[in-house]
Structure 1
């Protein structure tokens, strides 16, 4: 059985399902919900109905986008990918982003198993894939969505109740998820992480990106600054494995700044921006969408998302370089 499954590309691997598939789910989210929300925000702010309608349409197609993205990430054959669009849509309808992910994942793997096993593959493969996807969405989707929403609500409630401690924990956890080969975006959306907890998560994620971008400037120059600062700090994963000390400056920066966001400056964000950090400045755009476009909000964002992480991370990394814990080249990236 194992040999057969391997021949079909079904690995039953936790890494495949919880790292690779989640990463591709994030791409589906980027291509639908998040970019749609940006478009809609532009349309609403500038009174451009075209952008508002286009953004609303893109947001509504989140499920199909997740379905296709997850199936593609699992290296499913074409018929399975196309049928998984329906699975993702069903999952989103019945279980939100998490339901869409689960339905697409299970239906894709089953679809891969039956693919090209019969002479009427063009009927059997999409039929089985869609059936499994819809059944999964119906049976599991609502429970998965309820659990994720309840867990997310608990995190938000805890952050409001204990803003200092929970703000630090949320910032560190989400920041590490962003830098690790895990999707902080998918986590934030599945948990519906918003409010003050969303604000803390944004600070933690921004600290990782800006922190690494500034700390590694001497190795990577302006290109590296842009690649990590508005791209992704995930570029440092291989370097972190070689020298885990380089993870300390941006993580400490997020932990130190989180209380300012949760206790004193009352920063908040929505679930679409909570796990984004400064990637494409989506985290900042969503912060403005949540808190309003005012001078004081812009100042808070600049201080907690960009200036603060840059200063703290640079100071710590320089101290660690002098102590010999970080050496030149330890944060060199290929981009």
Structure 2
């Protein structure tokens, strides 16, 4: 018996003129080998996702956005662990509001065959006037880009924020006595936006946020700042306590805001000196290490019926008092 090669099932009947041959003889072994894992859609030149990523890169936007922003989208920080990433604002109202607030945008995604209403028309008109790249995108791809958010056929890609360095505020470029606000545990982007707005209004030089356990410059913070984020730099500190110690070595006084402070705001004698005002979270307040680094803990006198102020409001009140005392010292 000649073995299995004599079985009828082992005979390959092809269209060759030479007739049927027994087995493959290893001739097609290479054709049976796998070609490896399937490349990602972004890596396939003929795939639409590759063309979209290429267009986004050309316009200055990263190819891996995260969904965040306003209503109908999932929140995400523009940086975590010191790594900046792009952000997605999804939903017609959120897109229109972001464009009105002059939030920096690299790309606007529009679903194919979208039902155009006033919001869509305004978004398209504004994006065109600002020179923003507009990409028509299949709804399935838009679902992926927005991480499943309710995008209503519109989304914006916001580039990563370019943070300053905390030491940039030691010798600020703009005139005036250095005035810096540092945030300790603030996680609400609306508070950050409101604080940036107050810093701009009362002559502050910048805001410092820690790298961990803190909000970053998201689209929501940009919007709440009402344009002030374009004028007030935000610095990223890998270690807030160490950054405060560096400020102290440079001649700054570190003032922490807390309802149980030793000094009440109207009696703030250090207002005319270079200062860093540290604002803690509304729930936990200042952390222990940061509190120990402060030269003074300052409180805002309030009615007994009110337990605490929102972090953004408390910062605005403090900055107003500092600006008022500096103006009086300048006149006197």
The TM-score with structure 2 as length reference comes to 0.26
More strand per residue: 2
Larger Rg: 2
TM-score by length of 1: 0.26
Structure with higher helix content: 1
